[in-house]
Structure 1
Amino acid sequence: MKSKLSKIWLLLLFIYIVFLMMVSFLGISYYAPKYISDFSDVNHNYIPFNTIRTYLFNFDHYNLDAWLYNTFGVVFLFAPLGFLLPATFINVKSIRTVVLITLSISMFIEVLQRFTNLGVFDLDNIILNILGATLGYWTYKSISKNIKIHIP
């Protein structure tokens, strides 16, 4: 029973990582695989909170879909990681470990997007990703107090 549950969590984590990579490099649009954009002529953001500040203070310059996707969408995209890491791995118990793993994965994605031109490097995405994983971790911690999620 313990082994089966661990394999289920590992499978869910694997499916999530595949989904994360698809969204990060192909987008979420149904048409994205047919029309992959070239991001070679865009401005990348290396200044912390620059994009976040732009979305917050210039809300009226963006349509609601773009605003939601680029703010809350980025946060919620990484929330499952914060939940699945401690549920899957017994040695991932602290928020610090979740943040460091999230930082590593986020940096990998952003740098790869930058150099493959399959996305835009945005330092604020890393900040929002960490926020999302933190929310997922807090959700895991509050649920796991009442329910045994991970059985070592």
Structure 2
Amino acid sequence: MKEKTEKKIRFWCRIFLGVYLVLLVYFLIFSEEWGRTFLEGEYRYNLVPLQEIGRYLRYREQIGIGYVCLNLGGNVIGFIPFGALLPSISRKPSGFFRTTFIGFELSLMIELSQLVLKVGSCDVDDVLLNTLGCCLGYGLYRLLKWHRRVEKHVE
């Protein structure tokens, strides 16, 4: 691919990543529509890995499968863009482990912010699901990169 085209792709990926991060912080920390109000009194949090995921799966009939999918799937899907865009923004893309680790750090930072600010709910399972989403996003990045390379050879 021509250098000019790659620069354009990196430029737009930086723009999309910036917008994504602003929206992510808004929805996970400030959005009242998503239940992100500053709480008075008792605040609930989960620091036991897989406890909430297990609870959602065990009580899926009572909670409703739609809510289970929204919560668990939303945490995964919400971080796919990060995993796909992060390696796209520099000349020398970050690899799988670096991208995953940065996604883990971002998710941990958000969850700790929710704990300190007492908004939403701090849940270690969210960190696990967000990191999984970041991994899937990186896989999407690699798939698109492979597809571009195959198209280049076909032409």
**TM-score w.r.t. structure 1 length?**
0.85
Aligned to 1:15: 19
Aligned to 1:6: 10
**5+ unaligned residues in a row in structure 2: which ranges?**
150-155
* C-alpha contact 1:75 1:132 (8 A) present in aligned 2: yes
* C-alpha contact 1:99 1:134 (8 A) present in aligned 2: yes
Distance 1:134 1:36, change over 3 A: closer
* C-alpha contact 2:38 2:119 (8 A) present in aligned 1: yes
Higher relative contact order (CA 8 A, sep 6+): 1
- 1:37-75 CA-to-partner distances (Å, cap 9, x unmatched) read 334523200000001111111111213443222100110
Aligned to 1:80: 81
Q: Count residues in correspondence.
A: 144
Larger radius of gyration: 2
Matching of residues 34-45 of structure 1 within 5 Å: 36-39=36-39, 40-45=41-46
* C-alpha contact 2:36 2:120 (8 A) present in aligned 1: no
**TM-score w.r.t. structure 2 length?**
0.83
Higher helix share: 2
* Cα distance, 1:87 vs structure 2: 1.2
* Cα distance, 1:19 vs structure 2: 1.2
Q: Give me the identity figure in percent.
A: 24
* Cα distance, 1:4 vs structure 2: 3.1
Matching of residues 70-149 of structure 1 within 5 Å: 70-147=71-148
Structure 2: distance between partners of 1:36 and 1:98? 27
- 1:112-138 CA-to-partner distances (Å, cap 9, x unmatched) read 000111221100000000100111111
